[in-house]
């Protein structure tokens, strides 16, 4: 039996499926029909696209893979594939059942079949990789590169590129929530005695200067690098990790821009301040590579707090609001809720994780 990051990743992915399936969680009502009516509907439905087919098939494959992998690594080799496939099918059935109560969602037996098939394919892939020895090789790789208590950081690092896919007002600018949070609180407490208690700002938020954008991008790149350093000992491997993190971050941001604005605009986010910020962030990551692990965690705390403070003192802009509207109302509606919450919460989850790590005595040099 092995400790594995697959369990937390499987639970997180299941939560993301719930968000993607039920977002925006508004307008719940009885439709006057049986919630199970979709099971006997014609297949395929009158309106479908290959995009939806591929999305439903691929959307559940990682869940089946992660759940089967978790079972394989914790002593359930024979049950791994059937249990993962069954749980994936039941999760999809539950989501389709609940969608009948949401006016913006349409349950479909075709979606259910594709989701269940995706979970089965993912589980079969995990079993195949286990049989070929690929999972054991990954375990040995993890033991060489990372400290034993690395599971939480590895989960956060695995989620970081996905968080970058949701459009951000500034590249690598995860966690910019204050403006939306303040607006939501005002709407929630409007007309109540508590509205007077809100600490409203007496000044308008101002956009970041080019120098501020440079600093924010540099700090945004430095965060995953330092998080990785906090679970790695070898300086040589830290340098390779920093370069890989920069490349993955740039690729994820370019993909987000491509999905939002089209292929011809995939690299328009790479302005002079952003390019300079990436260079400064990577240079800082390389310079900090010799730090001990506890030192990396301490510096990461400072970087996270400075980054979040800088981002939340700046407003979003009109173009960014239009981009979010396109995601919310277009074909990316399934990704809107889950991407939004990932982008909002990832840096705060990292902050909490590092605080807990620094407060423990097992963070050694």
Helix ranges restricted to H, the chain:
6-22, 50-73, 80-99, 109-132, 134-145, 151-165, 178-189, 210-229, 235-261, 272-287, 293-311, 318-329, 333-359
**Backbone phi and psi for residue 101, each to the nearest 5 degrees, phi listed first:** -95, 0
pLDDT at 287: 96
Q: Among 31-45, 101-115, 166-180, which stretch is predicted with the lowest mean pLDDT?
A: 31-45
Q: 354 with 227: CB under 8 angstroms?
A: yes
Residue with tokens 């594709």: 114
- Two structure tokens written together for 19: 């968000």
From the list 28, 169, 14, 1, the residue with the least C-alpha distance to 97 is: 28
Exposed, middle or buried: residue 103 (CB in 10 Å: 0-12, 13-18, 19+)? Answer: exposed
74-77 contacts: CB < 8 A, separation 24 or more? 74/1, 74/2, 74/4, 74/7, 75/1, 77/130
What is the structure's pLDDT at 325? 53
Q: Which of 109, 131, 316, 294 is nearest to 208 (CA)?
A: 316
Is residue 213 pLDDT above 90, yes or no?
yes
Position with higher pLDDT, 2 vs 354: 354
Q: What is the mean pLDDT of residues 171-180?
A: 85
Quote the pLDDT of residue 221. Answer: 97
pLDDT for residue 283: 97
Query: Could you give the CA distance from residue 111 to residue 118 in angstroms, rounded to a whole number?
Result: 10
- Domain locations in the chain as residue ranges: 6-145, 154-359
- Nearest by Cα to 72 from 16, 12, 25, 138: 138
Q: Is the model's pLDDT at 364 over the cut of 70? A: no
Distance between CA atoms of 83 and 322, rounded to whole angstroms? 42
| pLDDT tens sequence across 11-22 | 988 988 888 788
Q: Which two tokens stand for residue 4?
A: 């594995």
Q: Mean pLDDT, to the nearest integer, of 196-205? A: 60
Cα separation, 245 vs 164, whole angstroms: 12
**pLDDT for the residue 330:** 47
Mean predicted confidence (pLDDT) in 276-289: 97
User: How many angstroms separate the CA atoms of 251 and 267, rounded?
Assistant: 10
pLDDT value for 196: 64
Across 184-188, 226-230, 319-323, least confident range: 319-323
């Amino acid at each position: 039996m092995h400790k594995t990051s697959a369990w937390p990743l499987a639970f997180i992915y299941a939560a993301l499926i719930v968000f993607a399936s039920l977002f925006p969680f508004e307008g719940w009502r009885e439709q006057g029909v049986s919630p199970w009516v979709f099971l006997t509907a014609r297949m395929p439905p009158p309106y479908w696209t290959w995009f939806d087919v591929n999305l439903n098939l691929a959307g559940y494959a990682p869940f089946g893979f992660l759940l089967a992998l978790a079972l394989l690594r914790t002593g359930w080799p024979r049950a791994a594939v059937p249990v993962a496939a069954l749980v994936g099918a039941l999760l999809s059935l539950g989501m389709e059942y609940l969608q009948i109560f949401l006016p913006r969602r349409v349950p479909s037996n075709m979606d259910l079949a594709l989701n269940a098939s995706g979970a089965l394919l993912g589980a079969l892939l995990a079993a195949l990789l286990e049989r070929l020895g690929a999972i054991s090789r990954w375990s040995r790789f993890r033991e060489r590169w990372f400290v034993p208590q690395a599971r939480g950081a590895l989960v956060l690092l695995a989620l970081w590129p996905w968080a970058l896919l949701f459009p951000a007002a500034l590249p690598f600018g995860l966690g910019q929530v204050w403006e939306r949070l303040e607006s939501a609180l005002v709407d929630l407490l409007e007309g109540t005695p508590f509205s007077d208690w809100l600490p409203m700002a007496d000044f308008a938020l101002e956009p970041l200067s080019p120098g501020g954008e440079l600093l924010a991008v540099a700090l945004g790149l430095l965060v995953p690098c330092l998080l990785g350093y906090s679970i790695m000992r070898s300086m040589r491997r830290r340098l390779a990790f920093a370069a890989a993190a920069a490349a993955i971050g740039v690729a994820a941001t370019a993909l987000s821009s491509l999905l939002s604005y089209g292929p011809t605009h995939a690299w328009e986010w790479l302005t002079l301040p952003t390019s300079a910020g990436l260079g400064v962030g990577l240079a800082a990551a390389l310079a900090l590579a010799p730090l001990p692990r506890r030192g990396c965690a301490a510096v990461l705390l400072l970087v996270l707090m400075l980054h979040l403070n800088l981002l939340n003192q700046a407003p979003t802009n009109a173009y960014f609001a239009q981009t979010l509207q396109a995601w919310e109302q277009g074909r990316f509606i399934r990704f809107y809720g889950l991407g939004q919450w990932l982008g909002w919460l990832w840096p705060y989850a990292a902050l909490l994780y590092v605080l807990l790590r620094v407060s423990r005595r097992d963070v050694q040099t």
